[in-house]
């Protein structure tokens, strides 16, 4: 079992739909990253959060440290949101901040 698990693995939505991607982790962490990766492209950091909720445009990320769970929400989804979304966290046991990555959620938003 991976230390960072995401669901669903694949997600297809119609333009305009509200989307939720979930991330659960089994190790102690100080913060969690949500990352976006387009096909063949590098990774863009969307959020880093250690508590509560953060919002940027149509994207909202929440985290519940006690439940070891985080969610990424996309409101009014658009085809340009199609990408792989990855949650990642540096375990407290590491002093390097190296990230452990979830397996990613491939999102396709259809027009």
Partner 1 sequence: ETGVTQSPTHLIKTRGQQVTLRCSSQSGHNTVSWYQQALGQGPQFIFQYYREEENGRGNFPPRFSGLQFPNYSSELNVNALELDDSALYLCASSSIAGGTYEQYFGPGTRLTVT
Residues that bind partner 1 (CB under 8 A): 30-31, 33, 35, 40-45, 48, 50, 86, 88, 90, 94-104
C-beta of 66 vs 96, nearer to partner 1:
96
Closer residue to partner 1 in complex, CB, 66/95? 95
- Minimum CB separation of residue 96 from partner 1 in Å reads 3
| CB 57, min distance to partner 1, A | 18
The smaller minimum CB distance to partner 1, of residues 17 and 82, is found at 82
A 10 A CB-CB count for 11 gives 19
Interatomic CA distance for residues 70 and 104, integer angstroms:
14
Provide the minimum distance between the beta carbon of 49 and partner 1 in the complex, in angstroms, as a whole number: 10
Cβ at position 33, least distance to partner 1 in Å: 7
CA 81 to each of CA 2, 48, 61, 75, 90: distance values in angstroms, whole numbers, following the listed order: 26, 19, 15, 10, 26
Nearest to 85 by CA among 15, 20, 3, 14: 20
29: DSSP letter = B
């Amino acid at each position: 079992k991976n230390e960072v698990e995401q669901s669903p693995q694949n997600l297809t939505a119609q333009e305009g739909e509200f989307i939720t991607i979930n991330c659960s982790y089994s190790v102690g962490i100080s913060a969690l990253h949500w990352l976006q990766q387009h096909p063949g492209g590098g990774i863009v950091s969307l959020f880093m959060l250690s508590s509560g909720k953060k919002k940027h445009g149509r994207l909202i990320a929440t985290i519940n440290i006690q439940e070891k769970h985080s969610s990424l929400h996309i409101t009014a989804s658009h085809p340009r949101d199609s990408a792989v979304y990855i949650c990642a966290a540096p375990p407290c046991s590491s002093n390097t901040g190296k990230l452990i990555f979830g397996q990613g959620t491939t999102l396709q938003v259809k027009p």
